Structure formats: C-alpha cells, structure tokens
Structure 1
Amino acid sequence: MSGFQIEQSKSKSATFFDVKTLDEKWKNFSKCVIMPQNVDRFDSYKNFFIRPDDIFILGYPRSGTTRLQELIWIIANDFDFKTLMEYDCGTRIPFFESPELSFELREKPLVTSFEEMSSPRTIKSHLPVQFLPDEIWTKKPKLIHISRDPKDAIISLFYLLNDFSPVPIKLEDFLEDFLSDNVLYCPYREYVWNFLNLPDYENILYLTYEEMSADLDGTIQKVGKFLGKTVSEENASKIKDYLNFEKMKNRKTNDNKFAYKKMMQIMHPNLNNDVTFIRKGVIGGYRSDMPKEYADRIDYWYAESGNLNQGYNYKNYAAIKKIFGS
C-alpha cells in the first residue's frame, strides 16, 4: 500500500478511513472515505485485470445501482430469466470492493471468484474514478453510471449504515459528516462530477434514478441499445415486472439478507440487527426524515460544485444541475 496515504476519517457518526492515491496521474483528486475492512485492498482494486467486454455499474451508494444492475444483467445475459430467479443478485453481479459479499458469504454462490465469471461480466462498484482499475482507461470496457438526488441517496445510506452500527447513528451527525465529506465514499460532489466529466471516454452511459423511475420503458431500451441488444416488447414487459419495486423488496434473491447477516457476524458478532437493503425507493422521500434546514443546506452546497478545484475540469455544470432539477 505504498502508493496510498491512509488516515482515520474525522467522521463523528461512524469509523471510516480516508484513502488518497499518491499516483501522479491523480494528484489533483481528493480522498475516498472507506470502510475499515477495505483499507488494505486498494492495490488489488487498481491492479484488477479488466476484460474488454466487462460491464461496470457505477454510482454513489443508494443511487439505484441494485435495480439498475438487475436490468443490465438481464439484457447482457440474453434474458436468462431462469438463472435470474435461481441465483441472487449479489452473486450474479459481484460487488467489486467487497467480493466476499458475492462469493464466500453467499448461500448459493454462482462462482467463487471474478476470474471464474463468464463474459460479459457485470460488476458493481461505488469507487470514485481515481480508484477504479488502471486497465479501465486502456481497455475501455462499458461503464454505466447512475446518479440520484443526493438528499434521497444520503437518507437511504443513513438507514443502511444504522442497521450495521452497534450504536445508533444520529441523523444530524450523519448529515454534518456528509456536508464535510466524511461519510462513506465521499467527497460526494467530486465523486459525481468526475464521472460526469470523464475526458475521452465514449463507452459510458449516464442514467439517473429519477429518469429510471419515471420512464422505465425508455431506460430499458436505452440500456439495450448501449449493450448492443434488441429488447422485444415481451422481454421488456418481463423486465418491468421483475423490477417492480415492491416485488424486488420482498424477493429473497434481491434482499441480500443472508450475505449481510454473515457480514454482520464478522464485523459485530454480538449484534443481531435486521438489515433492510431495499427500503422505499420514493423520489423525494427524504422529506419525511430530513429537516428542511439540512435539505436547503445540501441544495446550496451541491450548487457550489462548480467552484470545486479538485478532480477534472467541470465543464458540464448546466447539464448536471438539470439532472437534479436545480
């Protein structure tokens, strides 16, 4: 880990670590806030062997990556609904940062490593651009990035992390940590802006949670076109039924409960919390939890993204503001 600078995060709500790459290429990029168990894995992240036909699903946590990864897997695997229903989403679409969640801790693993996966591999990651595998920038696999209103994403992340916490996390502390870039995978603004401003990378599709929710038909066809697949009316109808939010919430292959229970036994052996992986999925749902003062602060804070001096040059400010209806 000689190529990284590591120190404990200043987070008040949980124990995280800040990791910063010392690679000259990424010298203008900031830290990434990460879970303690992943601190020693950054060499393996950067040196991961990429296949040109890999498909990476990318986005800040709780931005809709779970629903999107299922949509992508179905189309990329030629509408194999049998395997879809037989194996849970976490083993079909492994989580890059914590592969044990997809392999060792699964009740019924499909494979036991990334290397065993058949092509095209669909892989989910929440890592910011500067920590993705180096070979991504030379082999140019398909990247699909999803964004969501940060207020909805952070409230959803608050509830998930609370499920894993041995002591209750205070919402106010968590929101203050988010605004000061001390929550998991932060800094958030740089995270999103750098993906939306990737230079010289044409093999990427941008989506939003709000777009996918409002026009699932259009999103299905857009993903199909990007993957070079024709989606028939019959298959589109099957996909829509499978992606019904309430059905996903109650489906064992989507809830990740088995793997998360195993993970909790490792992290906190005496903790027996029930983890709710798929929660509400409502656009604007943050309003029932987040004080207006914080909602206004986050809106103002996010609008200041154009003044950031880290990461790529921010050329698409107007387009990015439009995504969140600002």
Structure 2
Amino acid sequence: MTTAGVVSAMVVKSHLTARATDIFLVTFPKSGTTWIKALLYSALHRRADELLAHSPHQLISFLESQVFVKDRIPDLSSLPEPRLLMTHIPSQLLPDSVAASGCKVVYLCRDPKDCFVSLWHFWNRFMPWNIDDAHWQFCNGVSLFGLYWEHVLSYWNWHVERPSEVLFLTYEELAADTLGHLRRLAEFVGRPFTTEEQDAGVDRKIVEICAMESLSGLEVNRSGMTNFTEKDVPNNIFFRRGVVGDWRNHLTPEMARRIDEITEVKFKGSGLLLHPPFLQVKRELNEL
C-alpha cells in the first residue's frame, strides 16, 4: 500500500462506522477485483446494463483511493441500504465497527503466482520494472506489493471464525463455476435469485455481461477514465488476460517454486490450502 493509501486507510478506520446492513467487498490488489465488483453489483441490483456505461470502479468506489481522499471525510450516512463498500485494506486496519456490526464481508483470493504476475504487469505500465526485482519484492513483502500472505490469511481466519459473516472465494473456483458462485454470492448478500429469475436466465445474463472478455470490449472500458486519488486513470489498465495459470508464461520454475514454498510456510496449520486440496477443505467446512 502506498503512503497515501496508508493515510487514507487510517482515515477510514477513524471515521467510517459500519452498519449491520453493509456489504464490504475486499481483495488483495490484482486478485480479480474488477470482475468481482461487476458480479456483486449486478447480483445486488439486478442491473448489469449499468456496466455498459460505467466502469465497475465507478459503480463501486474504493474507500481508500476514491472516497476518503484529498483530506475528505465524506458523509456516507445518506447512501441507500445495503451500502456496498470496496477496499484493499487488511482486516486489522478496518474500522472495529465492521466486525462488531456483523455486516457481510466478501473476500476474493487468487493464486499468489497469478496475483504477482498481474501486479507486475500493472505497475510495469507506469514504470519499467524487471520481473526478477519485482519477484524479490513480492516474496519479501516490501514496496508497493505489500504483504499478500498476511492479507489473505487474516480474512481466511475471519471466515473460519464467522462463516455466516465472511464469504471467502477464490478466483480459480469463480472461474471454474461462475454461475454457481454468482448464485452463492447473491444468496450470501441477501438477494438470492428466485426460481423464476433462474428460469428466465437473469443470472446467466449477468455472467455473460460480466465476463472479462465482454467487459474489456465495452467502449467505457476501452477509452473511458475513472478518477483515483488525484488523477484520472484509463479504465483499460484494469483488464489483462484474467487466465488461471497465466503465471506459467512469465515465471521461471525457480520463481514459481519460491512463491509456493512461502505459501506453504505462511499458511501452515491454518487449514488454508491452494487448489485442488484447498477446495476440498472448503467443501468440508461448508458441510459442518
């Protein structure tokens, strides 16, 4: 997280009071944020057509880089319920009222190797960055990459403790069964698709419109801009390939092995395993 992001996170923690009806959407950067924003907004409002004219980042703004910025402390009390709030903030930096209120938290996790590659591509558009140097920084939790494993693990532990309040999804399972997990997501936030809606294909239409290849082809995402902190950012920088396992095209076997080794050590004893064993653990937890 950048210095400005840290300051904004502190302001969010001090001035945002969560409500029981709130829905917090949380990801580590480049974990499928744009996609999950589109899916959750459409599931909640049943208005996927808004994506034709607005970037997902305009429909669901980041608390720390679009809402609490430029020394602003916005009044969010008038927002209609449920308020849909987005952040990359680690769980320990969220306002205490988030956990105390019992509101809903949706967390999306991604394989750290794909997450790293996507991060590297993103920042490389702003400044040339050797992938070896970026890999070292990611593995050592420094600079702009932050602490991937600590971020993921804190929300996983919260999910294990309060599964009815924290939904923990992976990018990989969402990609494997988007329709099934969209239905699960809608039910979790209190807007389950009715039998009539499913028969009419409402949920399938949302999946189609929110598919990355569909979103990236829209004019608003090809040439539009969204304001972040102090400048307008092209919407197209938020779209890359979105392919599961794309890390194989960029990482050497040794680089991939290093990330896997760190993952194994960091997650040891937590019950959090990466797919496919990870998905089996999740199924067993959900059956309890």
Shorter-chain TM-score tier:
0.7 to 0.9
Change (3 A) 1:51 1:253: farther
Is structure 2 residue 152 aligned with structure 1 residue 192?
A: yes
Q: Matched residues in 2 for 1:85 and 1:101: separation?
A: 26
Is structure 2 residue 257 aligned with structure 1 residue 251?
A: no
- Cα deviation, residue 184, structure 1: 3.0
Output the amino acid matched with 2:26. L
Change (3 A) 1:281 1:102: farther
Is structure 2 residue 243 aligned with structure 1 residue 282?
A: yes
Please say if residues 216 and 236 of structure 2, whose CA atoms lie closer than 8 Å, have aligned partners that are also in contact. Answer: no
Please say if residues 8 and 68 of structure 2, whose CA atoms lie closer than 8 Å, have aligned partners that are also in contact. Answer: no
- The structure in which a higher percent of residues are helix is 2
Per the alignment, residue 97 of structure 2 pairs with 135
TM-score by length of 2: 0.83
Change (3 A) 1:122 1:160: same
Change (3 A) 1:124 1:42: closer
Q: Matched residues in 1 for 2:55 and 2:79: separation?
A: 15
Deviations 1:116-171 (A, max 9, x none): 53221212211111111221011121101111110001110111112223xx1111
Deviations 1:175-227 (A, max 9, x none): 00011111435221111111111164331111110111111111111112212
* Matched ranges for 1:254-269 at <5 A: 254=221, 257-259=224-226, 263=230
Q: Matched residues in 1 for 2:274 and 2:249: separation?
A: 28
- Identify the match of residue 60 of structure 2 among 69, 90, 93: 93
> Structure 1: which 5+ runs fail to align?
1-33, 104-111, 267-272, 308-313
Percent identical: 26
Per the alignment, residue 43 of structure 2 pairs with 75
Q: Matched residues in 2 for 1:42 and 1:177: separation?
A: 22
Is structure 2 residue 150 aligned with structure 1 residue 150?
A: no
Q: Matched residues in 2 for 1:282 and 1:142: separation?
A: 28
- Cα deviation, residue 54, structure 1: 1.3
> Structure 2: which 5+ runs fail to align?
281-288
SS of alignment partner, residue 87 of structure 1: coil
Change (3 A) 1:242 1:253: same
- Cα deviation, residue 228, structure 1: 2.3
- Cα deviation, residue 62, structure 1: 1.0
Per the alignment, residue 18 of structure 2 pairs with 50
Output the amino acid matched with 1:181. G
Pick which of 283-292 and 35-44 moved more: 35-44
Output the amino acid matched with 1:127. I
TM-score by length of 1: 0.74
- Identify the match of residue 86 of structure 2 among 100, 114, 124: 124
Per the alignment, residue 311 of structure 1 pairs with none
Number of equivalenced pairs: 270
Change (3 A) 1:319 1:276: closer
